[in-house]
Amino acid sequence: MSRMLSPKKRRGLAFAALSASVLLLSGCGSQIAVLHPEGPVARQEYNLIIWSFILMAFVGLAVFILFAYMLIKYRARPGVEKYYDPNLEGNRKLEVVWTVIPLLIVIALAIPTVKTTYALTQPPVQAHDPMEIDVTSAAWKWIFQYPGQHIETVNYLVIPTGVPVKFILTSVGPMNTFWIPELGGMEFTMPGANLGLWLEASKSGVYLGRGANFSGKGFAHMQFNVYAKPQAEFNQWVAQVKAQDPPLTMAQANQLVNHHGLSPILTFSSYPAGAVPQNQNTLMSGM
Amino acid sequence: MLPHYFNHLFVTGTDIYIADVLIILTSLGIVGVLTYFKKWKWLWREWLTTVDHKKIGIMYIIAATAMFFRGGMDGLMMRTQLAVPNNHFLGAEHYDQVFTTHGTIMILFMAMPYLIGLINVAMPLQIGARDVAFPYLNAISFWTFFFGAMLFNLSFVIGGSPDAGWTSYAPLAGPTFDPGPGENYYLFGLNLAGIGTLASGINFLVTIIKMRAPGMKLMDMPMFTWSTLITSILIIFAFPVLTVALSLLTFDRLFGSHIFSMTHGGMPMMWVNLFWIWGHPEVYIVILPAFGILSEVISTFSGKKLFGYSAMVGSMVAIAFLSFTVWVHHFFTMGAGPAVNSFFGVSTMLIAIPTGVKVFNWIFTMYRGKIRFTTAMLWALAFIPTFVVGGMTGVMLAVAPADYQYHNSYFLIAHFHYTLIGGTVFGVFAGLYYWWPKMFGFKLNERLGRWNFWTFIISFNVTFLPMFLLGLMGMTRRMYTYPPGLGWSHLNMIETVGAFGQAIGMMFLAVNIVWSIKYGERDVTGDAWDGRALEWSTTSPAPEYNFAHVPVVYGRDAFWDMKYGKNREKYQVKAKPYRPIHMPNNSGRPFLMSLAFFISFWGFVFKWYLVGGLGLAAVFVFMYLRSFEYDTDHYISVEEIEHTEAAAGRL
């Protein structure tokens, strides 16, 4: 008997574990970056994650309950004969039900999906003038150029809070993706292409970013810190860089692009034209 | 510095030496056993030259099982490396090779051949045929797959394994970033095996269309046969794309073309598109036959007709069609724009509808049934909740903006292991336990089967459930190591424990097979499970000609109908006299031709064009010989049929 019940028990266990992990996600555990959005882009994505999870949990629950019910009720046991109907082969009404309900769920999910997909191509906050940062992934380092400030950092990023930042992404090596989970989802860096990605930090803090698409030997180490500071502090930092740090020479720039290896954190008060090879391709829309 | 593979053909490293020694010892052992028991002739005549679909199916299953253990070892090595932060069990380069071979082997050399093996074993029997439409081609399919897999595996000890991931994205997989022979092994191994897969697709399609028993309409076919039909169509449309993509990348690597390169107008993104135009249908190629197995097993062990037969067929057709319209969801984050992402997001969600229909129909197949919890049934039942978790997270991944947060993270890894293990592997195991007596004439032990099942399924969840969480914590796939302090360490350790638990589960399967060979319950009836389709109407194992008389069919679930149904009388016809049966001859040429392919492609891997050219010439010689062969078939005499049938107690 216990053996016959056990598939259900196991399923219950699996489901409990799943729900527990989800509770963990939504509440505590600040290390679960995706569920701790710190900017408007990540927040919109988070809302969709939760909405899709609720819809799916509803479906899953229905399936698991029905499944467990069938296993218990119709297991081979004395007395099952009175229900037994070997020729039962379908029920049009039921089949329509379980086609239409999933269709409605898909519609309920598709509408916000499409809306958000379009929304994320726009700056998250219209009120503030956006700034631009050009991101280049090389083997195996991140090069950040701030065209408005004309400074460059390697393997760390500084952004002002409350300002929509348009990241222009490209690569001078294998493809990668640029991901700062607390600020928003990732997008590819590809050689020969420029992709745009809007992100914004709502409050100051240090966020972890990384490359998420395998790019070879040094891939696992392509992790970087993102320092979000209020605009005034950001300006102060820029001024400090301008005053204290060396300019990037063309020789150093080539070394960064062409040498396959890791790099320490670097800061440059300016960079020469062509420090990163320019793409002929126009900007692709990105998202 | 990247290693310069050409300077040292033989890969060095402690584990490689261990592998070398093991390979040599195993090879010597096999040679020794075959010689000692004087089995060389037997091996050649009964197996290497066979064109019998049942034996070819068994060889597929043996090869796939070996590949499962190889791919599993890769998985264990990965999990060992990731058990603790900053581990040094494997270095980056080594880890990169291991995850590449793990993925490639599990998809192409484990999942697919397992299913093609089961199709070979069961499908012709289910439709009352005496073999597949092209038995000689079937042998070519197997041997090209086999030598393709061997070529790919050879990279481990000679030249070095590919290391750009099973997706092999250019430009990382191009000559600039990956100069060694490893990637060439990937390209040539997959292309060689791909010949076999494409031929299998054509073979199964023609078999099902042309060779069904008289009276069996398409809508009378067992669901596993239906799934094979639809899978074959997917193979025929999808695999040429892979062949072309692999060949183009081969041109880049061998002849310096610039199709996927970063410079000279190459387009790396084109590789990604081509790969997934094949790759997405491919995941349905490995799941639809598993759906078919599930339909057979659940219906058999519930003692009931399949619920919603036509909806089951219709939903498979819908899934097959949609599978060609969703490939961009593998790279939403490549910035194709909101219109494209919206289209592919919604088309992906739509797949959930026919899949949901199937799940509900399986559940209702049990409604008012008598459920027997055999091991085969346990695997089939476990499929449902596991695959539902995989499917639901799949819908979550289809939400394009949310996918920007999941892409390439462990959330994705968890998702596809829930579908590919929970779907394909559980389906394969259900099929293995179910058709085992049909293949070998004895059952696998149920008690050991339950141990196999419970250890594996619990460990599976221990391994992969935490991965959803790790993904949301920011851990990405293909990281060979990670720093402490990110909250990842405990979850990774739990996963590693689970991975070893799965290995123990697999050991129970191995023990079960060995034990059952000696002590397993013999199946003397041919109908081991009170089955429903025609494969159970012949002996276990089936004779070379499958059916002494080709059965005439009057509807669905023909064998059940024969035993208990309303057409019982129609099936009770007076036995006609036997007539000689026309069968194809065995041939060693498929084996030798594929061996020539292997040698040729191995030459190309190292750019030794002389070896490559001579090998290809040999391939053409074999094709030429085949074209002028006239003695290709024979008749099994009435006396021999009578003898076989009498031995099986059927006279």
| A54 Cβ under 8 Å from any chain B Cβ | no
* Residues B373 and B445 reside in one and the same domain: yes
Of A80, A217, A219, the CB nearest to B370: A80
- CA B13 to chain A, closest CA, distance in angstroms equals 18
CA–CA gap between residue B358 and residue A67 (Å, rounded) = 13
Tell whether A213 is within 8 A of chain B (Cβ). Answer: yes
Q: Test A260 with B469 for CB contact under 8 angstroms.
A: no
Q: How far is A131 from chain B (nearest CA, A)?
A: 20
**Residue pair B575/B645 in contact by the 8 Å Cβ criterion:** no
Beta carbons of A224 and A209 less than 8 angstroms apart:
yes
With an 8 Å Cβ cutoff, are B408 and A32 in contact? Answer: no
Query: Smallest CA–CA separation between A33 and chain B, in Å?
Result: 5
Q: Please check the confidence at residue B432 and state whether its pLDDT lies above 60.
A: yes
Span B130-159, pLDDT tens digits: 999 999 999 999 999 999 999 999 998 888
Which residues 60-79 of chain A have a CB within 8 Å of chain B? 60, 63-64, 66-67, 70-71, 74-76
What is the average per-residue pLDDT within B440-457?
Answer: 97
Chain A residues whose CB is inside 8 A of the B177 CB are 139, 173-174, 216
Note whether B310 and B294 are same-domain residues.
Answer: yes
Residue B118 sits in the same domain as residue B175: yes
How many C-beta atoms surround the C-beta of residue B433 within 10 A? 26
Contact B333 A187 (CB under 8 A): yes
> Based on the domain organization, do B251 and B371 belong to the same domain?
yes
The answer on B580 and B538 residing in a single domain is yes
Give the per-residue pLDDT at B8. Answer: 54
Give residue B71's pLDDT: 95
pLDDT at position B4 is: 46
Q: Does residue A32 register a pLDDT over 90?
A: yes
Pairing of strands A205-211, A176-180: antiparallel
> Given a cut of 60, is residue B494 above it in pLDDT?
yes
Q: How far B133 CA sits from the closest chain A CA (Å)?
A: 32
Q: Is B36 exposed, middle or buried (0-12, 13-18, 19+ CB in 10 A)?
A: exposed
State residue B574 phi and psi, 5-degree precision.
-70, 135
Q: Which amino acid is at A70?
A: M
Total domains in the fold of chain B: 2
* Contact residues on chain A for B465, CB-CB shorter than 8 A: 14, 17-18, 21
* B17 and B66 assigned to the same domain: no
- Contact with chain B for residue A96, Cβ under 8 A: no
Residue B84 dihedral angles phi and psi, to the nearest 5°: -130, 155
What confidence category does residue A9 fall into, taking pLDDT thresholds of 50, 70 and 90? low
Residues of B in contact with A99 (CB under 8 A): 353, 356-357
Are B586 and B600 found together in one domain?
Answer: yes
Identify whether residues B3 and B64 lie together within a single domain: no
If you count DSSP H runs as helices and E runs as strands, how many of each does chain B have, helices first?
A: 23, 2
Looking at residue B650, its pLDDT comes to 74
pLDDT of residue A280: 57
Which comes out higher in pLDDT, residue B7 or B74? B74
| DSSP 8-state class, residue B46 | I
Is the pLDDT at B205 greater than 90? The verdict is yes
**Residue A5's pLDDT band (cuts 50, 70, 90):** very low
Among chain B residues, CA nearest to A24: B469
Q: Summarize chain B as % helix, strand, coil (round to 5).
A: 70, 0, 30
Determine the pLDDT at residue A268: 97
Are the beta carbons of B353 and A99 separated by less than 8 Å?
yes
pLDDT (average), residues B489-494 = 96
Q: What is the distance between the alpha carbons of residues B122 and B318, in angstroms, rounded to a whole number?
A: 24
Chain B residue nearest residue A41, CA to CA: B401
Interface membership of A188 toward B (CB under 8 Å): yes
Q: How far A276 CA sits from the closest chain B CA (Å)?
A: 14
Q: What is the per-residue pLDDT for A30?
A: 74
Report the residue of chain B nearest A35, measured CA to CA. Answer: B472
Nearest-neighbour CA in chain B from A232: distance (Å): 30
- Tell me if residue A129 falls in helix, strand or coil: coil
Tens digits of per-residue pLDDT, B322-340?
Answer: 999 999 999 999 988 999 9
State residue A165 phi and psi, 5-degree precision.
-110, 125
Model confidence at B15, pLDDT cuts 50, 70, 90, reads: confident
Q: What gap in Å lies between CA B503 and CA B460, rounded to an integer? A: 10
B368 with A7: Cβ contact below 8 A: no
Residue pLDDT, tens place only, A91-144: 999 999 999 999 999 999 999 999 999 999 999 877 788 999 999 999 999 999
Q: Which residues of B touch A177 (CB under 8 A)?
A: 333, 407-408
Say whether pLDDT at A21 is over 70: no
At A260, list the tokens: 């396959």
Cα nearest neighbour of B475 on chain A = A212
pLDDT at B608 over 60: yes
Nearest to B385 among A11, A91, A287 (CB): A11
Beta strands at B581-584 and A223-229: parallel, antiparallel or unpaired: unpaired
User: What is the predicted pLDDT for the residue at B364?
Assistant: 97
pLDDT of residue B367 exceeding 60: yes
Quick one: pLDDT at residue B38? 86
Contact (CB, 8 A) for B157 and B8: no
Asked whether the predicted pLDDT for residue A72 surpasses 60, the reply is: yes
What pLDDT score does A31 carry?
86
* In a shared domain, residues B401 and B496: yes
The answer on pLDDT for B641 being more than 60 is yes
* pLDDT value at A29 more than 70: no
Its pTM stands at: 0.93
For position B649, what pLDDT does the model report?
77
Tens digits of residue pLDDT in A202-232: 999 999 999 999 999 999 999 999 999 999 9
User: Which of B169 and B19 is assigned the larger pLDDT?
Assistant: B169
Nearest-by-CA chain A residue for B94: A217
- Residues of chain A in contact with residue B93, where contact means CB-CB under 8 angstroms, are 217
Nearest to B481 among A57, A85, A220 (CB): A220
Distance between CA atoms of A165 and A188, rounded to whole angstroms? 17
Residue B434: which of B354, B540, B348, B547 has the closest Cα? B540
Residues of A with CB below 8 A from B363's CB? Answer: 63, 66-67, 70
Q: Do A67 and B171 touch (CB under 8 A)?
A: no
Distance CA B85, CA B64 (A): 33
Q: Look at A284 and B409 and tell me if their CB atoms are within 8 Å.
A: no
Pairwise CB contact (< 8 Å): A220 & B479: yes
Interface with chain A: mutation pick from B263, B367, B480, B491, highest number of A CBs within 10 Å? B367
Token code pair at residue B517: 């060979």
Q: CB contact, 8 Å: A280 with chain B? A: no
Which of B17 and B35 is assigned the larger pLDDT?
Answer: B35
Read off the pLDDT band of A26 (50, 70, 90). very low
- Cα A287 → chain centroid: 12
For B468, which of A14, A21, A286 is closest by C-beta distance? A21
Of all residues in chain B, what percent carry a pLDDT higher than 90? Answer: 86
Percent of all residues in chain A with a pLDDT value above 90, rounded to a whole number: 77
Instruction: Tell me how far CA of residue A16 lies from CA of A22, A57, A62, A64, A164, in angstroms.
Output: 10, 12, 15, 12, 40
A141 reaches B (C-beta below 8 A): no
Coil, strand or helix: which one is B307?
A: coil
Measure the CA–CA gap between B344 and A235, rounded to whole angstroms: 42
- Report pLDDT for A1: 36
DSSP letter string over B358-401? HHHHHHHHSTTS-B---HHHHHHHHHHHHHHHHHHHHHHHHSHH
Which residues of chain A make contact with B399, given a CB cutoff of 8 A?
48-49, 52, 109, 113
User: Looking at chain A, which residue has its C-alpha nearest residue B467?
Assistant: A21
Per-residue pLDDT at A15 exceeds 60: no
> Nearest CA to CA, how far is B278 from chain A (Å)?
20
- Do B126 and B171 reside in the same domain of the chain? yes
Spell B390-401 as b/e; 16+ CB within 10 A means b.
Answer: bbbbbbbbbbbb
Between chain A and chain B, the number of residue pairs with CB atoms below 8 A apart is 314
Give the DSSP H or E segment for A154. Answer: strand A151-154
Mutate to test the interface with A, among B183, B392, B405 (most CBs of A within 10 A): B405
Give the distance from residue A161's alpha carbon to the nearest chain B alpha carbon, in angstroms: 21
Amino acid residing at B411: F
Examine the domain organization and report whether B22 and B101 are in the same domain: no
Average pLDDT value for residue range B171-183: 90
Per-residue pLDDT at B568: 87
| CB within 8 Å: A35 and B472 | yes
- Residues of chain A positioned with their CB less than 8 A from the CB of B357: 95, 98-99, 102
Q: pLDDT tens digits, residue range B555-602?
A: 999 999 999 988 888 888 777 889 999 999 999 999 999 999 999 999
The reply to whether residue B372 touches residue A220, judged by beta carbons under 8 angstroms, is: no
Q: Using the beta-carbon criterion (under 8 Å), do A217 and B93 form an inter-chain contact?
A: yes
Q: Which of B88, B166, B322, B333 to mutate to test the interface with A (most CBs of A within 10 A)?
A: B333
Domain range for B566: 38-648
A76 contacts in B (CB within 8 Å)?
A: 370-373
Q: Are residues B216 and B241 in the same domain?
A: yes
A107 touches chain B (CB under 8 A): no
Judge: B346–A113 Cβ closer than 8 Å, yes or no. Answer: yes
pLDDT at site B1: 36
Does the complex come out with an ipTM higher than 0.95?
no
Residue A12's pLDDT is what? Answer: 54
Residue A128 C-alpha, separation from nearest chain B C-alpha, in angstroms: 23
